Structure formats: C-alpha cells, structure tokens
A and B are shown apart, each in its own frame.
Chain A
Amino acid sequence: MGGFLPPAERRSGALLALYAILSLFLLLAGERIPTAALRGVGAWVFAPFDRIVLSADRMAAAWRENQDLHQKIAELKLENERLVLAGVENNELRRAQSLPLARRFALRPVEILALSGEVLPTAATVSAGRRQGVEEGDPVLTGEGLLGRIGETYDDMSRVTLITDPNSAVACEIESTGVLGVLKLASTPHARLVLANVPLTDTVHVGQRVLTSGYSRHYPRGLAVGRVVSATPDASRLMLEVEVAPAVELSRLRHAFVIPGTRQAGMP
C-alpha cells in the first residue's frame, strides 16, 4: 500500500498519522497529564510580549480613562463619607445584637496580562505571584465585581480561574431576597452563566443583583457577581434556571485586585 506513494509523501502521511494519534491520546487522557508547570513556563515566556502588546493598547485608552477616574473619585469620595457613617451605625447595631463585625480585606492590585478560553474567557494571567504573597484560592475581583480565584501561582505571575470556567462553581445569593444558588457555566444552548439549584417556589426578578453568599468558603460574602437576566423553570419543572449576566465586562479586563491570604484568614 505504502509503495504507491513517493517516499516524501509517505513520510508526511506517517507524520500526520502520528500527530493524529497524539492528538486523540491527548483528548482521551489529557486531563490526567499535569500541565500546570508547562503553562507556568508559557506564562513566563509570554509575559514580556503580552506586556508590550497591552501597553500599546492601554496607552491609547489611558487619557480617557484618567478623566473618567477623576470624576469617579469625586463621586466615590462623597459616597464614602455617607458609607463611613452608615458603617459606624452598622457596627453599633451589630455590637448591640452580639453579631461578629464585618472584616475588611486588603486588596492587591494586579494587571491582567492575558486572557484565554474560547467563546467566553475562562482564565486570565495576572502580574503577581508567590513572591507578592498571592496564593492559590485567593479571590480576584475588579471594581465591578467578582472575577474568579487564583488557580495556579508562579513566582511573579498567577493564573486566575474565572467564574466562566466550566469547572468553577460560586455559592451565591440574590440581593435583598436571600435566594441561594450555585453559579455555574451552562453550555446549552450557548455558553452563559446560570444560577442553579434555585427552587421554583423562590421569587426571582430580572435585574436583581447576584452576590456571593460566602457559603462555599471560597469567596467572602457580598461580592457582586452579576445581574439576573432571565428566570425560567428548568427541564425538571422543579427548579428555576436563572441566567446571570456577569458584573465584570470580561472583554475589557485590564486591572484587577487579589484579596491575598483569605485562605488562612478564613471566610467569610
């Protein structure tokens, strides 16, 4: 059979067969191969180039962003004054009720170096790692809301598993009503975030905010996750399928914050 083809074509055919077999092997057994170290090397190699490409993109947006930030700072200063007063009042009330006081978290700013994943980004490489005190499991967020948690750490970089990762699950509650559910990625009919395990009898309205509940002990309580886009009965007609639009615009990620050391400190 092989004699029909010239040697060069036989060689390339054999090479293709080898690649196909390797690919099929990786598809079948790839999840069992430890690839974290290889991704670490990849992140280390790509980080300087990512920085160059991103800095060009960011310089163009920096001026406009600066103006927006000035305005936001002024607004936030006013709001902060109001919140400080409300915080004092809240602490006094909690003390009176013998409830534990809410803890403050230190935020470590990081730069988003790269995004990966198809349809929706599922992972991000950020510019802080073990040397900066970032640990696996630390929550990552932006001003808008929760982004995910640190999945892998390297010396000066980390990889964030975003809430859109197929293996991610975030214990959430709906603001003010306290309806609980688990936020996951659903792939049918298209990739989207869905709040699962919500009983049909619970009342959920479009536009309500979804926050972390703190029950999974992976994330502190009260971080914004998204907003309810739709709530319809699922296939079993026993549960609600609540579609959630993420609070963070995943296509516009530039900077984020890590809450370091939350594992040791305990949640929420």
Chain B
Amino acid sequence: MKKSELIERLAEKFPHIAKNDVEKIVNGIIEKMIDALNNNDRIEIRGFGSLFVKTRRGREARNPKTGKRLTIESKRIPFFKAGKELKELINKNG
C-alpha cells in the first residue's frame, strides 16, 4: 500500500469528507510525524508501535581496503518498535 492508496481507502471510509481534505489530513499526520522525529521526539501510537530516533556516535574507522583512517560522523537513525498488539496480531494467523 502506498500513500495514495491509503488516502483512497480513508476517503472511502469517511464519505462525508472530501478526498482533498483527506489528503490534507494524511499529509498533516505525516508531516507532524517527521517533525517530531526531527526534534528527537518519540511517536507513540497505542496498538501500533513507536518511532524514535537514535544517535550514533561518530567514530574513527579505517577503510579496510586501503587501510586509511577516516572519521565517521555521528548520525541520527529512525527506529520503529512494534507495539504489543501488533506483535500479537501478526503472529496470530499463520
């Protein structure tokens, strides 16, 4: 499922809301989630899971091919942890 399909399916479930508006809402949710992660805030969706950012420290490393030293800068990586309900449901039906 892509974002466009998600919008379509939502629009079907909320026939009293114009599809344009559903699109706006979906984009609003996604933007808010991205903003939160960018601010290092955690997103916690009951029943679904949580998204959060971890920071990897920078480190000195070596290029294994050339043996040259190089600095790997610190970086932020987003993670997802499935919620209890999702974990249970996914293991229920085969």
Pair from one complex: no
